[in-house]
Amino acid sequence: MKLSEIAQVIRSKNAGPRRLTFDIMFGSDADYQRVAQSPAISAEVIGKLYDVPQAEVTIFPYPVGRAIKIVLARKIMAGDPGDFDVYGAQQHAPLLGIEL
């Protein structure tokens, strides 16, 4: 099963000019638990997916909200030359295909 098949919302946005944040939200506690406990959502996997060092990836599980927040360093600061998504709103696509 892919993450996009179990999550109700997968989105990205800036967390300041140097960080991206990803929100993954679920419709049930069971779906949240399945993904939160999966090794597919780890700093190592996300770091490789976005080509950033594992140490630059932080994952915050939020069981009360049935959500997982991921924060990572941007490769290019928002608005700098070469930045193709100044708001960070189009960066979640690689998460969609994660196999659980």
29-86 residue pLDDT tens: 999 999 999 999 999 999 999 999 999 999 999 999 999 999 999 989 999 999 999 9
Q: Is the pTM of this model over 0.85?
A: yes
Q: pLDDT grade, residue 98 (50/70/90)?
A: very high
CATH number of 3-75: 3.30.70
Tell me which H or E stretch contains 95: helix 93-96
Average pLDDT over residues 20-31: 98
Task: Name the residue ranges covered by the structural domains of the chain.
Answer: 3-75
SS3 call for 30: helix
Contact (Cβ atoms closer than 8 angstroms) between residue 68 and residue 24: yes
pLDDT at 93: 96
